[in-house]
Amino acid sequence: MTPHRPSSGLAVLTLGALGVVYGDIGTSPLYTVKQIFAPGHVPLTPDNIFGVLSMMFWSITVIVSLKYVMLILRADNNGEGGLIAMLALASQAVKERPVLRRRLLALGIFGTSIFFGDGVITPAVSVLGAIEGLEVATPGLTHYIVPLSLVVLTVLFLMQRHGTGGIGKFFGPVTALWFVVIAVMGFVHIARYPSVLGALSPHHALIFMWRQPGITFIALGFIVLCVTGAEALYADMGHFGKRPIRLAWFGLVMPALVLNYFGQGALLLLNPEKVGNPFFEMAPAWALYPLIGLATCAAVIASQALISAAFSITKQAIQLGYMPRLRIEHTSVKDIGQVYVPFVNWSLFICIVGAVLGFESSGRLASAYGITVTIDMLITTIMTFFVVRYGWKLPWALCIAATGYFFLVDVSYFVANIVKVVEGGWFPLVIGAAVFTLMMTWKQGRHLMADRLRDDAIDLKSFLEAVFVSPPTRVAGTAVFLVSEQGITPNALLHNLKHNKVLHETNLFVTVKNHEVPWIGFDKRSEIESLGHGCWQVTLHFGFKNEPDVPEALALIRNRGFHINDMETSYFLSRDIVVPTIGSGMATWREKLFAGMHLNAAGAADFLSLPTNRVVELGSKLEI
C-alpha cells in the first residue's frame, strides 16, 4: 500500500495543516512571555524586553523557518516524516557500519521515548495556560482553574475512542481563527508602541547576551518554549505534504506568533505591572471570556494532535519490533491512519492528571517543559547529519555547514534547560526513561527469543522431506502457519502432527517482515517458494505505516500455484510462554519484565487481521 494523501486542493490542505501541525506551537504565547519574566527569572526592564523579543524572533527564524521548514522537510522517507521516519532513513544510510547503526537506532528510540514525556506536559500546560485566563477575567475563580482543566482533559480523553472524524474538520478553521485573533491582539498593542519592532534587529539579542550572560542562560531555558511543537512540522509531513506546511507557516503562523509576542512586549513596555499574564492582559475586558473559550479550544486541538501522534508512533514502534503488540482500534473506515490505542490513551491520561495535580499551574509546568523538547531537537539534528552525509552522499564540509550551526543552537538550548531538571524537568525525563527501558527490553528480549528458537529449530525443508517419506493423512483446506523465522519448522505444525496426525492439502508457512520504510506496495508485498507436496514458504513484507493484513496479502497471491478458499483456511499460531532463567541474556529483572510484557501482549491474530473464528493457537514454553 502506498501513502494516501488527500487529493484536496492546496487551500484545503493548508487549512488542515493549521489544525494538526501548528496547534502546539500556536498555544505557546499563552505562557512563554509570562514565564520568561516570572519572578526570579529575567528582570523586567526595557533593555531586557528588547533583548528577549529579539532572541525569540531569531529563535523562531533559525529553528523553525531555517532548520525545520527549509532543511528537515527535505529529509522525507517516501513522503513521510517524523523521528521514526528519520531514524529509518539514518539507519539505512549507515547500514554498512553496524556499530554506528546500532548507536543511531538506540539514540532514535531514546528520542521517540522522550516524545511520550513531552506528550504528558503539552496537554497539561496548554489547557492550564488557557483556563488561567480566569485569573485576569475574574480573580475569584482562580481556585477553579485546576478542576476545570481536569474536566476538559477528561472529556478529551474520553472522546478518543470515538475518533476525531466528526470534529476534526473544525480543527483547521478554529486554529486559523486563533492565529488571526492573536495576530490582531498583537498588532493593536504594537500600534501603541511601534518602536518595539526595533527588536527585530539581532543586535538587541547580541547586546543582551554580551552584557548579561548569566541572565541569558536563564532566559534560554524559557525562550525555547516559543518553538515547542516545531517537530510537528516534520512529523505530519506525510499527511499534508511540504508545500501546505510551508505555506501555512510563512503565510499565517509565523506572522501571527511574531505579532503576538511583540504585542506582549509592547504591553509590558507600557504597563510593566501586567507581567503576571501578559497574553490575557492584552485583551479588552469584554473579550476576555470569549478569548478564554477560544484559547481552550486551541489548547484542546493542540493536545488532540499530540495524542493522535502518540497513537501513530506507538503503532509504528510495534511494527518495528520495539513495543509489544497492543490493542489497536481503527476509528475511521476512510482514513487508515486514524487509530485509537486504549493502553496509551489511559496511560497518558493518568500521567497528565498527575502533572496537573502535582504542578497546579502552567508556570510550574513550563519549568518542567523544554528539556524533552531540546533533546528531540538535538537528536533530529544529529540524525539529519547522517542522512545528508551517508544517505545523500554530500561532501563533509557541506554536511557540517548544513547541520553544524543548528547543532550548536540546539546544544545551547539543551544546556540551558538542564538546570530545569530539578525544578520539574525530571518528570517528563522519568516518563521517557521508563518508555525507553520498556522499548529496549522488548527489542532485546525478542532477539533472545529468536536466538533460542533458532537454536532449537528444525530445518523446515528437511522436516518436510522426512514427513513425506511416510505421509500423514491429508485433509481438505488450507493451513497457514505463522512462523517468525524463514526456513524453520513452526511449533504449531509439530503439535498439529503430534496430536491431530493430519496435514492439510495446502500448507503455507508465512513469515511477516516489517521494514524500516513507511510503505511497501502490493507489487513488493510477497515472496513465494514452493517446497513441494502442496507446501509453500511465503514471506510478506510491510512498512511501518502499512496495515499488516495477512489475509489480504495472501488473497493477492492465490493464483500463484495454489488456491485459497477463505472458508476452508485455518491459521495456526504458536503462543510461547517465556520463562526467565539465570545466566546469559539480560539482567534477571529485565527478563522478568520482558516475560510480563510478552504475556500481556495483544494476540497476534488481531494484530495481523486474522479472522478470529479460524485461528488455532498452540502453546509452548521458551526459556531465555
Q: pLDDT per residue over 422-445, tens digit each?
A: 888 888 899 999 999 999 999 998
- For residue 464, being part of any structural domain is answered with yes
Asked whether residue 392 falls in the same domain as residue 469, the answer is no
How far apart are alpha carbons 72 and 233 in whole angstroms? 9
364: domain CATH number is 1.20.1740.10
Question: Among residues 424, 441, 465, which one ends one of the domains?
Answer: 424
Q: At what angle do helices 426-456 and 98-131 cross, to 10 degrees?
A: 140
Domain residues for 167?
A: 10-424
Asked whether residue 262 falls in the same domain as residue 218, the answer is yes
Average pLDDT, the chain: 87
Q: What is the pLDDT of residue 334?
A: 58
Asked whether residue 187 falls in the same domain as residue 304, the answer is yes
- 321 — pLDDT class (breaks 50, 70, 90): confident
Asked whether residue 619 falls in the same domain as residue 562, the answer is yes
Query: Is it the case that residue 7 has pLDDT exceeding 60?
Result: no
Q: What is the pLDDT of residue 408?
A: 93
Query: Is it the case that residue 102 has pLDDT exceeding 70?
Result: yes
Question: Among residues 407, 424, 441, which one ends one of the domains?
Answer: 424
How far apart are alpha carbons 473 and 185 in whole angstroms? 81
- For residue 164, being part of any structural domain is answered with yes
Q: pLDDT per residue over 252-291, tens digit each?
A: 999 999 999 999 999 999 999 999 899 999 999 899 999 9
- 332 — pLDDT class (breaks 50, 70, 90): low
Asked whether residue 124 falls in the same domain as residue 236, the answer is yes
Asked whether residue 219 falls in the same domain as residue 358, the answer is yes
Asked whether residue 360 falls in the same domain as residue 484, the answer is no
Asked whether residue 403 falls in the same domain as residue 459, the answer is no
- For residue 432, being part of any structural domain is answered with no
- For residue 119, being part of any structural domain is answered with yes
164 phi/psi in degrees, rounded to 5: -115, 15
Query: Is it the case that residue 377 has pLDDT exceeding 80?
Result: yes
How far apart are alpha carbons 489 and 509 in whole angstroms? 9
Q: What is the pLDDT of residue 166?
A: 57
Q: What is the pLDDT of residue 168?
A: 64
Q: pLDDT per residue over 551-599, tens digit each?
A: 989 888 877 767 788 888 999 988 777 777 776 678 888 888 988 888 8
- For residue 3, being part of any structural domain is answered with no
- 171 — pLDDT class (breaks 50, 70, 90): confident
- For residue 170, being part of any structural domain is answered with yes
Asked whether residue 411 falls in the same domain as residue 478, the answer is no
Nine-digit cell at 283? 485583551
Tell me which range, 130-134, 256-260, 304-308, 535-539, is most confidently predicted by mean pLDDT.
256-260
Query: Is it the case that residue 609 has pLDDT exceeding 90?
Result: no
DSSP secondary structure letter of residue 488: B
- Nearest to 59, CA basis, from 212, 234, 220: 220
Asked whether residue 403 falls in the same domain as residue 472, the answer is no
Q: pLDDT per residue over 113-168, tens digit each?
A: 988 888 888 888 899 889 988 888 888 888 888 999 999 999 989 888 877 655 66
Tell me the three state secondary structure of residue 543: strand
Which run of H or of E encompasses 616? strand 615-623
Q: What is the pLDDT of residue 402?
A: 83
- Number of domains into which the chain is organized: 2
- For residue 441, being part of any structural domain is answered with no
- For residue 437, being part of any structural domain is answered with no
Asked whether residue 374 falls in the same domain as residue 460, the answer is no
Query: Is it the case that residue 5 has pLDDT exceeding 70?
Result: no
Give the count of beta carbons closer than 10 Å to the beta carbon of residue 567. 7
Query: Is it the case that residue 462 has pLDDT exceeding 50?
Result: yes
How far apart are alpha carbons 258 and 123 in whole angstroms? 23
Asked whether residue 162 falls in the same domain as residue 267, the answer is yes
